[in-house]
């Protein structure tokens, strides 16, 4: 088995926790963030590298042309609150855990995003990360004065320029600009704070940033690159890349592709951590775990939740298709990678069969069984693909206290006994923690 430690992150939303089952009495209220603070403390106790908060900027009506499904189920979708204040709240209640917030280049002017990230990085003492997204929903674009999203290739061109601008803003203060010299009566040396006078095709900004350099200077960058253009973007910018790869071969091929793209851009591939999304389904026996998964994925509610979520991120109305008829091959200007993962299991299958087969479509590999059996699979996967770690989540981006405890108090101790994940933190910043091994 692997002799190298691997990293663990958790992917979630500032949204309703599960609320319909016998062990699920949530629903989000009160919306004061304390449920997620408790969650983060559990993850820190288990030695996770980071907690990562997904976000969307609209109430989707992509499924059936109505907001009914997303509001009816809530599960992972709506209500959904701003992750940035929650990141600051969690940072004040933890000491080591990285906190990653999804912030869209669509929703934040570059100066405002650079200032916000710098501020939270200060508050967290260097533990803040930015999950870089461009947003993939026309409904989100319409909340910001656009009729529809620009084409995907244009969005990436805009995102590259956006990254150039925010990086210049973070560098607009030299590292030693703040001197706090009482004898000279000088807090900051003005000769070391510089305008950037950025004039691009899409953005223009004078600068400098008006926040002091943060512990990491810039936040740790996370990104999910699916398309070839997206992979180039991730390989150019990201400290860690999250992916929904397709099984062992897909995981191995994706990592090799990213490392090759990074090297071609002059980056050290070892400085980019590739982390695979997985959904562990745990039980005291493998049969119990399999039965839990079967009950979930065969329910009508699960099918509707899955398809409404997929509609919201792809802008394809899956309510237009008969559940018991074959699904034609589809393309989208939204999240094409998620769509490909959903429909890749073969032509000729009905939509209902695809929902069942793709119950793990937010998972790179099925992990079902006892903590010991799942730990075996995770070790084996790292040996097979040479990867860097896992980003754990729940079906349809849900959040569950029970699921968190099963992982932190069942699965992680099993991995720690094998010496394959951390038992203590030794670094201060999130970037240092990710690069520790």
Answer yes or no: are the C-beta atoms of 9 and 40 closer than 8 Å.
no
Cα(309)–Cα(168) distance, integer angstroms: 36
Helices (H), 216-345: 228-237, 247-264, 286-297, 300-314, 336-343
Q: Up-side HSE of residue 325: CA atoms within 13 Å toward CB?
A: 7
User: What are the respective helix, strand and coil percentages of the chain, to the nearest 5?
Assistant: 45, 15, 40
Cis before residue 208, ω within 30 degrees of 0?
Answer: yes
Q: For 107-139, give the DSSP string.
A: TS-HHHHHHHHHHHHHHTTS-EEEEEE----HH
Q: How many CB atoms lie within 10 A of CB 424?
A: 6
For residue 273 the two structure tokens come to: 């951590």
- 363 is known to lie in a ligand binding site: no
Q: How many CB atoms lie within 10 A of CB 190?
A: 9
Radius of gyration of the chain from its Cα atoms, rounded to whole angstroms: 22
Helices (H), 344-426: 351-357, 371-385, 401-406, 412-417
- 227 is known to lie in a ligand binding site: yes
Name the DSSP class of 269: G
Q: Which residues line the annotated binding site?
A: 55, 102, 156, 227
Q: Which residues line the annotated binding site for FMN?
A: 55, 102, 156, 227
């Amino acid at each position: 088995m692997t002799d190298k430690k691997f990293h663990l992150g958790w992917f979630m939303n500032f949204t309703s926790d599960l609320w319909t089952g016998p062990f699920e009495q949530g629903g989000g209220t009160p919306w004061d963030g304390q449920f997620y603070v408790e969650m983060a403390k559990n993850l820190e106790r288990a030695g996770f590298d980071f907690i990562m908060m997904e976000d969307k900027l609209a109430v989707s009506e992509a499924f059936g042309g109505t907001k009914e499904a997303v509001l009816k189920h809530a599960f992972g979708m709506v209500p959904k609150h701003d992750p940035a204040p929650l990141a600051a709240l969690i940072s004040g209640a933890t000491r080591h855990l990285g906190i990653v917030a999804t912030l869209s280049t669509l929703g934040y002017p570059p100066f405002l995003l650079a200032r916000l990230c710098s501020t939270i990085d200060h508050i967290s003492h260097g533990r803040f990360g930015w999950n870089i997204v461009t947003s993939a929903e026309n409904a989100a674009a319409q909340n910001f004065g656009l009729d529809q999203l620009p084409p995907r290739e244009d969005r990436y061109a805009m995102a590259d320029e956006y990254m150039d601008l925010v990086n210049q803003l973070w560098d607009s203060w030299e590292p030693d600009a703040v001197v706090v010299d009482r004898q000279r009566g000088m807090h900051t040396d003005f000769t070391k704070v510089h305008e950037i006078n950025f004039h691009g095709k899409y953005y223009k900004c004078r600068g400098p940033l008006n926040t002091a350099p943060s512990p990491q200077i810039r936040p740790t960058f996370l990104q999910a690159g699916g398309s070839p253009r997206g992979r180039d973007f991730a390989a150019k910018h990201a400290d860690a890349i999250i992916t929904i790869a397709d099984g062992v071969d897909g995981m191995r091929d994706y990592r090799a592709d990213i490392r090759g793209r990074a090297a071609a851009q002059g980056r050290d591939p070892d400085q980019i951590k590739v982390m695979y999304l997985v959904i562990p389904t745990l039980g005291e026996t493998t049969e119990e775990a399999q039965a839990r998964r079967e009950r979930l994925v065969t329910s009508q509610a699960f099918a509707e939740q899955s398809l409404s979520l997929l509609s919201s991120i792809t802008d394809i109305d899956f309510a237009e298709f008969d559940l018991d008829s074959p699904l034609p091959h589809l393309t989208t200007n939204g999240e094409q990678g998620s769509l490909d993962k959903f429909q890749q299991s073969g032509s000729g299958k009905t939509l209902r069969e695809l929902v069942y087969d793709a119950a793990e479509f937010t998972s790179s590999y099925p992990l079902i069984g006892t903590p010991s059996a799942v730990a075996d699979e995770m070790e084996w996967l790292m040996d097979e693909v040479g990867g860097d770690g896992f980003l754990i989540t729940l079906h349809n981006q849900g959040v569950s206290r029970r699921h968190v405890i099963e992982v932190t108090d069942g699965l992680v101790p099993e991995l720690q006994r094998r010496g394959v994940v951390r038992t203590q933190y030794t670094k201060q910043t999130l970037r240092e923690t990710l690069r520790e091994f």
